A and B are shown apart, each in its own frame.
Chain A
Amino acid sequence: MNILFCSAGKHGQLIRDIKLSLGKDSRVITTSNSNMVPSLYFADNYYIVPDITNKNYLDIIIDICKKENINAITTMLDVETVLLARNRRLFETLGIEVLTPYLATAKICLDKYLMYKFLLKKNINTMKTFCDFKHFERAYSNHEISFPVFIKPRFGRGSEGARIVNDYEELKTVCENEDNILIQEYIDGVDIDVDVYVDTISHNAVSMFAKKKLKKGLGGASQTVSFKDKELFAFVGDFVKKLKFNGPIDIDLFYKDGRYYLTEVNPRFGAAYLHAFRCGLDFAKLIKNNINGIENEVLLGNYEEDIIMMFYNSALIVKNGKRV
């Protein structure tokens, strides 16, 4: 099986892990608009491509797919999940599985306010969220929300720009100076992250890996610890059925006083999938099964609890365009 990872960015270890599980008869290809991106140099082959907004972008990706005999395509860039979803039909005619959600779902995942509205409509527990200061102010004067609040970019990538705001004046200033800010009820709970594999044939959540974040670092958790909870698996499994995902996804939740709050979904491999892989879960194998027409069975909780993962910086050395 040959898989194309578009815009795999800094996720070098992810590419290494995928290669490790697919073995020698498979190839992993990556792309980026910059040659200064670690993931490129862990792949079997890589291509420097224009920015995703370039009008020729899709044609270039299609050419790469043909040249490399690609069977499945995915991306680590959130906005690109929508682009790939929009062109699902085109890829499918070439025999390529698009490992991103179907278009409507991809759009909901990208816009965190749309996701909030969706969760409300479907009665899935989440935090109160406001898309502008005016709406927030109304709720605030009705005592429906109080400080501190949590703010994050509506179309943000990762946890970039997400922070706690403690008072009214500060929030007002932030909202005046920044566009597309979401104001969210602050829940002083445990950060939870779940890696989910949604079977591309049955569209069930066939594999899940739950972990608690132990410390907040830049752009995600620095340390996580694995745990299992049937209630969480049921909550996530139920949510997954309400949308149309396809392949690996990463779900962020909070847990407080016995309740889970779903906050957002990255419809692609999560940066901390590495933890799941080291605990024995193998989404690449599940992809391979799907590509070969095999439906994966639901298998939940097949890993150990209390396994801790810690991130650290490693150094990739590149000489003449190759890893040394």
Chain B
Amino acid sequence: MNILILSCGTRNKIIQYFKKELDGRGQVIATDCSELAPALYDADRFFIVPHVDNENYIEVLLSICKENNVKAVLSLIDPELSVLAANKQKFLNIGTIPIVSDYEIVELCFNKYEMYQFLINNGFKAARSYIDKEEFFKDVELGELTYPVFVKPVKGSASININKVTSKDEIELLFSKYENLMIQEYMDGIEYGADVYVDMITNEPVAIFIKEKIKMRAGETDKSVSIKDDKLIVLIKEFVQNTGFKGIIDIDIFKVNGEYYISEVNPRFGGGYPHAYECGVNVPGMIIKNIIGRENKSIIGQYEEGIYMMKYSEIKIRR
């Protein structure tokens, strides 16, 4: 039962967790387009593959799966999730299960404006967003919202290049310089991250781990503390069931004046997942159970509160 992890990059912990959970029952195989990706060297075997944009990319992956008897495949980077989801059937045809949500949902997650509309239309709260700056200026004049606001690309991974903007002039400048921008209400509140596993057989959320984020660096969680919040769990369950996610997802939520706002959804392992694993929320174990055809029972809320996680740098040496 070999598991293939694509674009492993610096996610050594994910590779380590899968190895631990497989415990000799199979191999963890990793890929990356750079041989300088440290996580490659934690895997049992690895392959250097072309960039995800390469026209032969899927063929390369399919042959790796075939030749290495790969039971399941998953990716750790955003641009690849769409590719994987779009080619789901090709993998299934050769007996490899892609651990990814459906294509439409993956695309929805990467279009922040469409996600905003989806949330609002389905009765969820979300930070007010605009792609039409004139409409935004009108609402500012009406007093519906105030500066500062965030300006970010409608499509884009992590929070890189997110600009906190304080004036109309700046908005005009950014919109004249870049295309496909979105203006988003600035959320001044507590930020939470949720690691959620939706069982691949029952389609039910079976694990939800909630952490309060303590400090942000380049959009990734640096420090966090585990918390429990029944109201938030109910909201996440509703959201996940309404949308039809599968497998592992990572959700960012803001709490402002007692209300929860869903801000971003990544249909993959989030950068802060090690916190959940170390608190006993064993998603790699649940994935393995699913791929051998067994359902997972819900472990929602089964973890300790007040456990802190801090990221720090470790190194991998290649001789």
Using a CB–CB cutoff of 8 Å, the interface residues on chain A facing chain B are: 10-13, 36-39, 214-215, 218, 222-223, 271, 274-275, 278-279, 304, 307-319, 324
Partner of A223, one of B36, B223, B311: B36
B310–A318 touching, CB < 8 Å: yes
B87 to chain A, nearest CB (A): 28
Chain B residue numbers with a CB within 8 Å of A309 are: 315-318
B36–A314 touching, CB < 8 Å: no
B10–A308 touching, CB < 8 Å: no
B293-319, CB < 8 A from A? 304, 306-319
Comparing B103-111, B132-140, B213-221, the segment that makes contact with chain A is: B213-221
Contact-size category for B = 35 or more
Bound CA–CA A110/B38 (angstroms): 33
Chain A residue numbers with a CB within 8 Å of B306 are: 319
- List the B residue with the shortest CB-CB distance to A307: B319
Does B259 belong to the interface (CB within 8 Å)? Answer: no
B41, B278, B308, B309: most-surrounded residue (chain A CB, <10 A): B308
Chain B residue numbers with a CB within 8 Å of A11 are: 312-313
B307–A314 touching, CB < 8 Å: no
B36–A215 touching, CB < 8 Å: yes
Partner of A313, one of B13, B41, B317: B13
A315–B308 touching, CB < 8 Å: no
B20 to chain A, nearest CB (A): 14
B313–A314 touching, CB < 8 Å: yes
Does B11 belong to the interface (CB within 8 Å)? Answer: yes
B278–A317 touching, CB < 8 Å: yes
In the complex, besides A10-B311, A311-B315, 19 extra interface pairs with C-beta distance below 8 angstroms are A10-B310, A11-B312, A12-B313, A13-B312, A13-B313, A38-B311, A39-B312, A278-B317, A279-B317, A307-B318, A310-B315, A310-B316, A311-B10, A312-B11, A312-B12, A315-B275, A317-B308, A317-B309, A319-B304
- List the A residue with the shortest CB-CB distance to B214: A36
Bound CA–CA A304/B278 (angstroms): 36
Does B227 belong to the interface (CB within 8 Å)? Answer: no
B317–A307 touching, CB < 8 Å: yes
B318–A12 touching, CB < 8 Å: no
A48 to chain B, nearest CB (A): 14
Partner of A218, one of B218, B278, B307, B318: B218
A274–B13 touching, CB < 8 Å: no
Main SS at interface, chain B:
mixed
Chain A residue numbers with a CB within 8 Å of B304 are: 319
A216 to chain B, nearest CB (A): 12
Partner of B315, one of A274, A304, A318, A319: A274
B271-299, CB < 8 A from A? 271, 274-275, 278-279
Given contacts A13-B315, A314-B313, A315-B275, contact A308 B308 (CB under 8 A): no
Given contacts A36-B214, A278-B317, A308-B318, contact A313 B311 (CB under 8 A): yes
B315–A36 touching, CB < 8 Å: no
A66 to chain B, nearest CB (A): 29
Chain B residue numbers with a CB within 8 Å of A36 are: 214-215, 223, 308, 310
Bound CA–CA A37/B222 (angstroms): 10
B275–A313 touching, CB < 8 Å: no
A177 to chain B, nearest CB (A): 13
- List the B residue with the shortest CB-CB distance to A314: B314
Bound CA–CA A314/B306 (angstroms): 19
- List the B residue with the shortest CB-CB distance to A320: B306
Given contacts A13-B313, A319-B308, contact A310 B38 (CB under 8 A): yes
Q: Can you list 8 A-B contacts (CB < 8 A)?
A: A12-B313, A222-B10, A223-B36, A307-B317, A310-B10, A312-B10, A315-B274, A317-B307
B36–A12 touching, CB < 8 Å: no
Chain B residue numbers with a CB within 8 Å of A319 are: 304, 306-308
A214, A223, A274: most-surrounded residue (chain B CB, <10 A): A223
A316–B312 touching, CB < 8 Å: yes
B36–A38 touching, CB < 8 Å: no
Chain B residue numbers with a CB within 8 Å of A315 are: 13, 274-275, 278, 309-311
- List the B residue with the shortest CB-CB distance to A275: B315
B319–A312 touching, CB < 8 Å: no
Bound CA–CA A84/B279 (angstroms): 40
Given contacts A11-B312, A312-B38, contact A318 B307 (CB under 8 A): yes
- List the A residue with the shortest CB-CB distance to B275: A315
Closest 7 pairs between A and B when the two form their complex, measured CB to CB: A315-B274, A310-B38, A38-B312, A312-B10, A12-B312, A314-B314, A318-B308
Chain A residue numbers with a CB within 8 Å of B314 are: 13, 311-314
Chain A residue numbers with a CB within 8 Å of B223 are: 36
Does B33 belong to the interface (CB within 8 Å)? Answer: no
Chain B residue numbers with a CB within 8 Å of A218 are: 217-218
Does B37 belong to the interface (CB within 8 Å)? Answer: yes
Chain A residue numbers with a CB within 8 Å of B317 are: 275, 278-279, 307-310
B73 to chain A, nearest CB (A): 21
Does B97 belong to the interface (CB within 8 Å)? Answer: no
